[in-house]
Amino acid sequence: MKMMSRARSPPDFDFNSYIEKRDYVGALAIIDFGEVELSPVDKLFWVGYCSTRLGGRRNNNRAKEALLELLSEKFQDEDVPQIAHLYLSIAYFQLGRYTDAEETALSVTQDSE
């Protein structure tokens, strides 16, 4: 019998499909290897999110701290995009810092009124 060789298709590096399939290791790999174009704020959010889902609170904490550093370096307080505050609120919540999460989330809704 002859072995039939299968033509392999190139790997699919669609970030959204990894997130939808809850393949957080794959999503982190795509981020780490630069296979997806994300803003620095979005990249830090997704690293924190995926790390939390994998139980990596230390990586989430590093991502949160990097997000804070990025925001303080890049923007003046009044120029920080509202979505960045929302991402930070989510990171606080995932770390169990519920009071900080609530205060940050409420500041977003109050500022946008």
Within its chain, how far is the Cα of 63 from the centroid? 8
Range 97-101, long-range pairs (CB < 8 A, 24+ positions): none
The predicted pLDDT at position 93 comes to: 80
Residue 43 pLDDT > 80: yes
The string of pLDDT tens digits covering residues 48-105 is 778 777 876 666 677 777 776 666 666 655 566 777 778 778 777 877 789 988 998 8
Least confident of 1-10, 35-44, 74-83, 89-98: 1-10
What is the rounded distance in angstroms from the CA atom of residue 74 to the CA atom of residue 68?
Answer: 10
More confident residue, 13 or 75: 13
Total-model pTM: 0.59
